[in-house]
Structure 1
C-alpha cells in the first residue's frame, strides 16, 4: 500500500461509505406525494381511498378499519373493485421512501416503473424468507418454461424484518432504470441499488433482467409510473416521497493544490503558513507528507448539470473550509472526528463555478488523515466528489458481527438519543430477537429483530469510537428509568435516576438470561426479559418489593401516540409496536400527556409484600 492510499486520496475522499443513512447526514428534501386527496394518482376504482387513520385486527385475516381524515391511502379490494394504483408522474432513476401497513394474511407490492416489484406481504415471524415474502424482489414468470421453473430470478430478502399486522413499516428503495441506445435497444438492465426494509438493507445492487410477474407492462422503457398493487389484499400507505435522479453527475476539473506545514487549527493559521509545494493535481500524486500539522488547499472548476440548490456534505479528521464562487459554504474549524458531519447549501446555475477547499489538521498524529466531500443536487444523486483519476478502490472493512447461537450478553458503550451511554448490556437470543439495557438507570434502550450486534467500532483499528450497534431492525425506546417514585400522578417522569438508585448486578437463569437487580432506597427491583410466541415478542417481568419514600410508578411505554385497542392491549408510538399488560384490570394502567408525548404508567399500590408486573412487547 503506498503512502497516499494510507493518508489522503486527492481530492477529498476518502473513506468509503457503505450505508445510505449516516450519523449526522442531511439531504435535500424529497418530493412528497400529497395524500390529502387522490390527485397525485391516475383515476382508480373505489378500492382506493384517503383516510386519516387505519386500525388492523392482527388476529383476523384482512380486517381493516379506516377513519375519516387525510394523510393515509388505504386499499380495500372487493370482487368488483380491485384496481392497481398508478402515480401521475413517471420516473427513471429514483429514490423512494414510504411507510406501509399490512393486514393479517395480506399481499401487495410496489412496482417501480409499473414493472419491477418489491413484494409487500404479511411475513411476520417467517424464519426463512422466500422470494414471495415481504421485502423480496419478486420473481419473473414464463409460461413456456418447464413446470417448477416458470418462476425465476426471484430474490428473497437477506433477513426477514417484517413487523406484525397493523404496525407501520418503512421501505426505502434506490432504483436504477434500464438504459437504451437511440434506436431503443437496451444497453443495461434495471437494477435495485438498495432496498432497505425497516432500517435494514435487504438487497444491494441486484439486476432485474425484465418485468417481474404481474407487472402492468411487459415491455421495458426508460420511464414509467410508480404502481401500488391493489388486487391482492388490504394495505395502507403514508408518507410517500421520492427524488428522481436523471441528471448527470457533478464534475470537478483543472484542480490545483498548495501544501503547507505547521500548526493548523483555523483558516487564519493556513493564511499565515508558508507554502511548501504547489502545482496541478495529477494522478496518484503524494500530496500529504505527514499525518499531522499540515494544510492542503485545492482549487478548480466545478461543473453542475442543472440550476437549483446543491447540498455539500463534509466530514474530516481535522478542519475544512469549502468555498464556491467566492462564497463560503462550509466553515469547519478546529478538530473533528470522522463520524461528525457538517453541510451547506448553495443555489447554482447550470455550468462552471470556481471551487476551493482547504483541509487542515493538528491533533492526534496517530490517527490517519481522512476527509470526504459529497454533493447532491436537483436530479443529481448524492455522490462523492473526487477527481476521475484519484478515486481508489473503496476500502472495505469487514464488519465484526457478534452472533447469538445461544443467549449471549455483551457489555459495551452505546450511542443512544445523541448521547454515548457507557454502562450498557446487549442480550442476544438464538431466535434473532434482542434488546439493550442501560444498567446505569434500569432503562430499556432498544428491542430489535434480525442479526445481533455490530461490534466493528469496538474492535476495529483502535476501537474508536468504542460503540456496539444493533445489527437488525430496531424499535427505539426512551431509555428512561422504568421505575420511579413520584409525588403525584401529574409529576413529570424523571430523565435520570434519583440519588438513592443503586445497581446490584444481575443473576442468570438456566437459559443464560439475566435478571437485573437494583434498589431505589429500600425498594428492591428485579427486571427480566425473555422471548415468547416463536420469537415474535418479548415478555418483560418487573418485580418490586420493599418500601419507598413516596408513590411508586412503573413506566410501561412512552411515545408520540399511545392508543388503547382493548383491555390491556395498546399500540405504542403511533403503531410502532404493541404492548399487552397482564392483569390490566387490577393494575389499572393510565395514559397521560407529558413532555409532549403519551406515557403509559402503572401506579403501584403496594410493594411491601411484593408486586409483579408482566407485559409483552410485540412487533
Structure 2
C-alpha cells in the first residue's frame, strides 16, 4: 500500500508540473504589453498627397482625365479614333452618334471622381430617361465590362438594380440621393479589380465602393461578374482595362460630364 501511495504521488506530481508550466507559459504569452512603443508602427511612411482646394478638385497624385478643355486622354471604343463628344463651356456632352468613349490609359485598382448632369429638359421615363453609365473596366468593343449606372432617378421609376448608383443588373444602391434634372451629380468610386489565375480562373472577385453626391450607395459591394444586359453575370480574365463612358441609345437629350480624375491605387 505504501508503494502504491508513493507511486500515485509521483504520478500526480509529474502531471501537475507540466500543467502548472503550461498555465504559467500561457499567462506569460497573453500578458498585455506595458510599453506603448510596442504597438507603434513607424514605417513605411505614407506618401504625401496634397488635396484639392475643394473635394471635387483633383489631389496632387491624380491623373486628370477631363479638365474641361479637351478629350486628348480619351478615344472612341469602336476603333480607337479620337473621341468626338462635344467639349464646350468647360464640360463634355455625349454625342450619341459618336458612340462610347474610353480612356487611352488602362488601370487596375483606383479611386475615380466624376460629375454628370442630366439636362433640365430631359424627356422619357424609366431606362429611357438620361441614361448613361461609367464602366469601371472595359477591355474592348465587345466587352460588357463592369457598369455603375447613370440615369435620371429623380422621381423616375425603374427596376432598382438599374437606377442611378446601382451596379447595373446586380446590386441596387443603398439609397436614392438624386438631385433634380439640370443639377450636377457627383460619383466617387473605389474600384478593386478582380484577379485571375494563369488559366483564367477567378482568384478574387471585384468590389465597388460608391458615393453619390456624398451619400454611400455601394459599401464594398462584391460583383458576381461583368454587368450583362441579358443573362447571368460572369467573369472574363483581364489584367488592366480602360474606363468607359456610355453613349446610350435612348432618345432623351444627352447628358454631360465634368471634373473627371482618377488615382491609381496599385
Which of 39, 50, 70 lines up with 1:37 in the alignment? Answer: 70
2:266 aligned with 1:241: no
TM-score normalized with structure 1 length: 0.29
User: Where does residue 101 of structure 2 map in the other structure?
Assistant: 85
1:39 to partner: Cα distance: 1.3
1:95 to partner: Cα distance: 0.6
- Secondary structure of the residue that 1:131 maps to in structure 2? helix
User: Where does residue 222 of structure 1 map in the other structure?
Assistant: 239
Aligned mates of 2:224, 2:110 — CA distance in 1: 18
User: Where does residue 5 of structure 2 map in the other structure?
Assistant: none
Which of 163, 180, 190 lines up with 1:164 in the alignment? Answer: 180
1:159 to partner: Cα distance: 0.6
Residues 94/87 of structure 1: CA separation in 2 closer, same or farther (3 Å cut): same
Higher RCO, 1 vs 2 (CA within 8 Å, ≥6 residues apart): 2
1:125 to partner: Cα distance: 3.3
More divergent stretch after superposition (102-111 vs 234-243) = 102-111
2:226 aligned with 1:211: yes
Answer yes or no: is the 8 Å Cα contact 1:135–1:157 preserved in 2: yes
Residues 229/128 of structure 1: CA separation in 2 closer, same or farther (3 Å cut): closer
2:88 aligned with 1:51: yes
- Secondary structure of the residue that 1:33 maps to in structure 2? strand
Larger relative strand fraction: 1
User: Where does residue 149 of structure 2 map in the other structure?
Assistant: 119
Residues 28/45 of structure 1: CA separation in 2 closer, same or farther (3 Å cut): closer
- Secondary structure of the residue that 1:42 maps to in structure 2? strand
Q: Structure 1 unaligned runs (5+)? A: 14-20, 53-70, 140-153, 247-619
More divergent stretch after superposition (155-164 vs 37-46) = 37-46
User: Where does residue 108 of structure 1 map in the other structure?
Assistant: 132
User: Where does residue 3 of structure 2 map in the other structure?
Assistant: none
Aligned mates of 2:196, 2:263 — CA distance in 1: 22
1:244 to partner: Cα distance: 1.0
1:222 to partner: Cα distance: 2.1
Aligned mates of 2:117, 2:185 — CA distance in 1: 6
- Secondary structure of the residue that 2:74 maps to in structure 1? coil
Q: Structure 2 unaligned runs (5+)? A: 1-30, 43-50, 123-128, 139-144
- Secondary structure of the residue that 1:113 maps to in structure 2? strand
- Secondary structure of the residue that 1:119 maps to in structure 2? strand
Answer yes or no: is the 8 Å Cα contact 1:47–1:230 preserved in 2: no
RMSD: 3.4
User: Where does residue 73 of structure 1 map in the other structure?
Assistant: 92
Residues 206/218 of structure 1: CA separation in 2 closer, same or farther (3 Å cut): closer
Aligned mates of 1:218, 1:42 — CA distance in 2: 25
1:9 to partner: Cα distance: 7.9
